[in-house]
Structure 1
């Protein structure tokens, strides 16, 4: 299933994409795409719901973040060996963890706003994993059973804030609008193997990133298992799993970062597309 949220910011409704690609209104079936709606039991109810019996929503319409009520926005850094190489970083022994503030979350086609003083804003197409059922100390073998579904994430990053403002990466990752997610939450049964998904990102129509989740250093299952040893993962928590090569930071001979007016377009196989225009903060 492809689940989504649509409408004006702060007033999104739950939706489903039917087999014709039409948007259907799930209001009345679930309150939102959040919390208990992400459980296996509720997802099974949604699978048995005839989308053709639901109200059809005329498009175009704004898609909001595909999940609401996110408790934790957990990010795995340097999780593609070729991306680590382009940035000159060593291959990590364990998954590198940092956080994005949940206030960074926006819809897949909302503007990305560069904060005041930004000169090093960068792009990162990533596979997002949405937890569906509570897990703690889960094994790698059982880890994917706790996934509700997957989505596209643009882990937008301000590299100067990230690396030069004393502290952790979170500073450069958490600016407002730096976490577009969606357009859809695609349930795990429809995705199948999360380790074989093609992904790409274009800036102003030029291909910058091309990759595949098969080249992750730590698999989705390994990331979930590792994090669950450290903290309880709850329904609606998002784990974004790293980016392939082609970010501005790794450009040779010199990086060319985003500027106002640039357009990012990104996609992951089977998970939909995002498009964001970049603008400077007022």
Structure 2
């Protein structure tokens, strides 16, 4: 199942899509207004999110497919964290941009992955909202990633994430990473949360990115999450290790889709990220 947040009758609603159609879960149970409510109910009842949703489908309003054409941010995490250098091409790109390239090779080959803080709720946007590029940066790129949605440190679903990055700032000095990664509108997630049973193997998903400007595609590429050198389980383990994690979090798992070094985002560029079994995340670009 895929879970969306939409506005219906002037209110926020939790909507589920399965093979039989699209259903308003909030209409069947007013306590299920957010994905976080569904995850909490699943933990309390020792069930999966899909099992909780199934219990309410018969009483839920069935909706037209148009209901999920313009979804809102599907989940508002207390924190977003991210992993870096999990694909070979990402390691190569980080080496190319950096004044200290050897440190990235050491991370790629080491036992411990790179895990860093990415965003707070007010720095995170949803589908069809603008992502940001820093005004003080002259080399900016999107980073399309598979996101693991966690409730109390346990995976409850998957979404698409865009880990916006100021490569020029990070390349000056690796210690500038927080400024290159954490700023207004630095992260987008959506369009849905797909349950683990819907995703299947998270390490066998096709991922595609398209960046266009004035109607012309400037960069398009695809990969498979099977190219990731770390597993989602491993990354989650290091994120939660000795760390008091919040109830709801997203962990982004790294990127393998890196535009050429000559490319940098500009305001009004359009970014479209597709991940198999989840959907399509679209965002425009603005300067912040």
Could you say what secondary structure the match of 1:183 adopts? Answer: strand
Q: Which residue is equivalent to 1:113?
A: 132
CA–CA distance in 2 between the matches of 1:267 and 1:232? 32
Q: Which residue is equivalent to 1:32?
A: 34
Range with bigger deviation, 172-181 or 160-169:
160-169
Could you say what secondary structure the match of 2:190 adopts? Answer: coil
Contact 1:98 1:169 in 2 (8 A): no
CA–CA distance in 2 between the matches of 1:276 and 1:76? 22
Question: Within 5 Å, which residues of 2 pair with 1:1-282?
Answer: 1-7=1-7, 12-19=12-19, 22=22, 24=24, 26-27=26-27, 28-34=30-36, 36-37=40-41, 39=43, 41=47, 43=49, 44-50=51-57, 53-54=60-61, 56=63, 58-59=66-67, 62-68=70-76, 70-88=77-95, 89-90=104-105, 91-93=108-110, 94-102=112-120, 103-132=122-151, 134-135=152-153, 146-164=154-172, 167-204=175-212, 205-245=217-257, 247-248=258-259, 251=260, 254-281=261-288
Gaps of 5+ in 2: 96-103
Post-superposition CA distance 1:58-113 (Å, at most 9, x none): 54753222112x22211101110122123324124121011112122111221123
Q: TM-score, normalised by structure 2?
A: 0.81
CA–CA distance in 2 between the matches of 1:208 and 1:114? 20
CA–CA distance in 2 between the matches of 1:182 and 1:156? 14
Q: TM-score, normalised by structure 1?
A: 0.82
Distance 1:181 1:37, change over 3 A: farther
Gaps of 5+ in 1: 136-145
Count of aligned positions:
262
CA root-mean-square deviation = 2.6
Point out the structure with the larger helix share: 2
Structure 1 residue 29, shift from structure 2 partner:
4.7
Contact 2:6 2:72 in 1 (8 A): yes
